[in-house]
Structure 1
Amino acid sequence: MAPAYKLIYGDYRGVAETSRFLFKYGGIEFEDARVQFEDWPQWKEKTPFGQLPLLEHNGKQINQSIAIARYLANLVKLAGNDDWENLEIDSIVDTVSDIRQKLVPIGREQDQIRRKTLIDTLIKDSFSYHLPRLEAIVEKNNGYLALGRLTWADFYFATISPMFDAITGQDCLANYPKLKAVRDKVNELPAIKKWIETRPASDF
C-alpha cells in the first residue's frame, strides 16, 4: 500500500528538507518523489503556482514549503501549545527564511566577481546582524530557538543553515557555537541521523 503522503521536490535537499526531517522524526511514511532537472518543464504546469515542493494527501495537493512544514510540525508535536507559542516559532522561521532569500541571487550569479561582492555584502549586512541575535535567542531559550524546547524552528534552522555554508563557501556558524549546537542537536536525533546517513547525496 502506498504511503498516505507524497512530497514532491527536486533531487536535492533545499527547502523540502525540513519536511523530510519532520516526516522522519514523526515516523510518518511518505513517498519522497524527486523531479529531475530535465523533467521540470513538463512538471511546472501541473503545479498550482509553478513551484515545488508540493505535498499530496488524500487526493489533495498543496504548495509552499513553510506551510507544509508547519502542518507536519503539528502532526509530530513540534509546534506550539497555543497561538502565541506558534507565533514565536513562526517569527524565528520567517527570520531564517528572510536570510535564506538573500542567498538566492548569489546562487544564480554566474559572474564570479559579482558573486564575491554579493557574498561579502551578505556576510557584512545580514549575517553579522541576524546571526548574533539568533545566537542570543538560543542562549535565552535553554539551547533552542523558541519556547525553551525542541520545535520545528530548530528543524528549519538545521536544514536551511547548511545553505549558508554551501553558497558562501565559508563556515558561517564558526563564531556562533550555540546556533551550531542547535543544528547538531537536531542532526543527532536518531531518526534524523539515520536519514542523513542514507539520504541521496547533494550539495544542499
Structure 2
Amino acid sequence: MAPVYKLHYFNLRTRGEVIRWTLSLAGQEFEDHRVEFPDWPALKPTTPTGQLPYLEVDGKALDQSVTIARFVAREHGLAGKNNWESAQVDSLVDYLRDAAKGFEAYTTAFFTRDPKIEEVKTEFTTKSVVPFLEGLERKLQSNDSGKGYFVGTTPTWGDLAAAHFLDEVVRLNPDALAKTPLLKAHNQRVHELKGIKEWLAKRPETPL
C-alpha cells in the first residue's frame, strides 16, 4: 500500500511551503493539517519536539523543515540524480537559508507589529537580498546557461525552494527581479510545472 503522508504546520506558507511544493511536484497525496494559532498551546505538547512543521509518514513523525523536504525529495527522485547533484542541491538550499535571514527579520516584525516594519521590508528587498539574487542568477546561469534548472536537466526540490523564496521577495517588492531575468524566467517555469501549478491554484491565501 502507498504510504500515508500528513503534514502538520501553521496556516502559513513560510517553513511549510517548500514541503507542500515538493509533495505536490512528486504527485504524492498528503493531508495538509493547518494549525490555527489559538489551537497551538494545547497542541504543542503533543508534537514530537514542541515545534512545527513535522511530517507523519504512516504514523511515524519527522521534524525539521529542511530535513522533511529533503526526505520527500529523495523518496520521489527530486534530490538530484547522483551524489554530486544532490550536494549541489543541498548547497543551493543552504545559500537560500542565508538569503532568507533578512526575510525572517521581516516576519518577526510582522508578528510583533513592529512600527518599523516598512523600514525592515525596504532594507531586505532593496539591500540585503540583492547580493543573494545576483548570486542565484550566477548559479542558475552556470547550468545550461540558465535555460532550465539550477542542477541537472530536471527540476529538484532546490528549484522549488528557490522559487518559493523568490515569490516571497516579489510579494514585498514586485520589481525585485528586474535585474535578474534568468531568475524571473525560472520562477515562471517552476510555477508551470505539473503539480505546482495545481497547488498554487488551490492553496489557501495567507499573509505569510
2:190 maps to what in 1? 186
Which portions of structure 1, spanning 4 or more consecutive aligned residues, are displaced by more than 3 angstroms? 168-171
More deviation in 178-187 or 156-165? 156-165
CA contact (8 A) 2:126 2:176 kept: no
Percent identity between the two aligned chains: 37
1:152 maps to what in 2? 157
| TM-score normalised by length of structure 1 | 0.88
TM-aligned CA deviation for residue 133 of structure 1: 1.3
TM-aligned CA deviation for residue 36 of structure 1: 1.0
2:137 maps to what in 1? 135
Give the Cα–Cα distance (whole angstroms) in 2 for the partners of residues 188 and 117 of structure 1. Answer: 33
Q: Does 1:161 align with 2:166?
A: yes
Give the Cα–Cα distance (whole angstroms) in 1 for the partners of residues 42 and 78 of structure 2. Answer: 35
Give the Cα–Cα distance (whole angstroms) in 2 for the partners of residues 139 and 57 of structure 1. Answer: 37
2:101 maps to what in 1? 101
Q: Does 1:198 align with 2:195?
A: no
Instruction: State how many pairs are aligned.
Output: 202
Give the Cα–Cα distance (whole angstroms) in 1 for the partners of residues 138 and 173 of structure 2. Answer: 25
Partner SS, residue 31 of structure 2: strand
Change (3 A) 1:64 1:178: same
Give the Cα–Cα distance (whole angstroms) in 2 for the partners of residues 199 and 120 of structure 1. Answer: 27
Partner SS, residue 190 of structure 1: coil
CA contact (8 A) 2:143 2:152 kept: yes
CA contact (8 A) 2:17 2:164 kept: yes
Give the Cα–Cα distance (whole angstroms) in 2 for the partners of residues 199 and 116 of structure 1. Answer: 27
TM-aligned CA deviation for residue 71 of structure 1: 0.8
1:117 maps to what in 2? 119
More deviation in 137-146 or 66-75? 137-146
| TM-score normalised by length of structure 2 | 0.87
Amino acid across the alignment from 2:117:
R
Partner SS, residue 34 of structure 1: strand
- RMSD of aligned alpha carbons: 2.2
More deviation in 2-11 or 192-201? 2-11
Give the Cα–Cα distance (whole angstroms) in 1 for the partners of residues 174 and 50 of structure 2. Answer: 32
CA contact (8 A) 1:16 1:65 kept: yes
Unaligned runs of 5+ in 1: none
Partner SS, residue 9 of structure 2: strand
